Amino acid sequence: MAENINFIANPANLCVHLHRAYCLGWLIFGIAPKSLKIIGQEVTDKTQQEIAQALAGLEPAVDVWVAYVDVPEQPGNKVIAMHFDGWVWGERPHTFHGCPYYKVESTTKVMPQDMYDERIRAHQPQLYAWERLAADGVTLADLNENLIRNCIRRGIDGGRIPESALYEPTGDILSKWKLLKNGCRQMGRSCSFLIT
């Protein structure tokens, strides 16, 4: 249970908490971090505006349930409790004011770029697939035209490609097959036709 409760002063910890995989949890304001004594705090309109501002700094936006709980031993003070659903691998990673954060022991740190990139790739794998990368240094001359034309013939024989494809320039055919993007060969797709 302690893993699912955070006592925070730094709004960037909202982002940290959202990156805890599969972790439903609470962020709680108004508890002394060392003694865990419930002290609460005065909640004013300004306090609620600050909370709203902090939540507005999160991207993507999150639906947060905020509760204000009276502290009987401290009249006028309240504990502020926020409930979050945990992050699931493959979802878009969260940022706070454009910066991703994570936790190292009890310290909030800016997330390393490679860790953030890994989460972005998991969120949109189709954009980062190996076969979609540009094949630098590969030209149309590096491709086996006979193999390409053989594939076209097989497609025509199978009724999947119109016969007119036999008379089109190779570059046009590769573009239609999405093997060229803005005139550049794409890695995995072009490798099928490389001259060996």
Can you state the percent helix, strand and coil of the chain, rounding each to 5?
A: 35, 25, 35
Task: Provide the pLDDT for residue 64.
Answer: 83
**Distance in angstroms (rounded) separating the CA atoms of residues 112 and 177:** 37
Task: Provide the pLDDT for residue 5.
Answer: 42
Contact 143, 192 (CB under 8 A): no
Task: Provide the pLDDT for residue 4.
Answer: 38
- In which residue ranges of the chain is CATH 3.30.950.30 found? 2-112
Task: Provide the pLDDT for residue 114.
Answer: 92
Q: Is domain 2-112 in CATH 3.30.950.30, yes or no?
A: yes
Contact 85, 21 (CB under 8 A): no
Residue 177: both structure tokens together: 């097959």
Residue 115 three-state SS? helix
Contact 187, 133 (CB under 8 A): yes
pLDDT tens track, the chain, 196 positions = 334 344 445 667 777 767 665 456 777 888 887 888 889 889 999 989 888 888 888 888 888 889 999 999 989 999 998 887 766 676 788 888 899 988 888 788 899 999 998 888 888 877 777 666 666 677 777 778 888 888 889 989 999 989 998 899 888 888 787 777 655 555 455 555 555 4
**Sequential DSSP letters for 173-190:** HHHHTT-EETTEEBHHHH
| 139 contact partners, CB below 8 Å, separation of at least 6 | 185
Contact 113, 28 (CB under 8 A): no
Task: Provide the pLDDT for residue 195.
Answer: 52
Task: Provide the pLDDT for residue 104.
Answer: 85
- The alpha carbons of the chain give a radius of gyration, in whole angstroms, of 27
Beta strands in 40-112 (DSSP E): 41-42, 58-59, 65-70, 77-84, 95-96, 101-104, 107-110
Contact 2, 20 (CB under 8 A): no
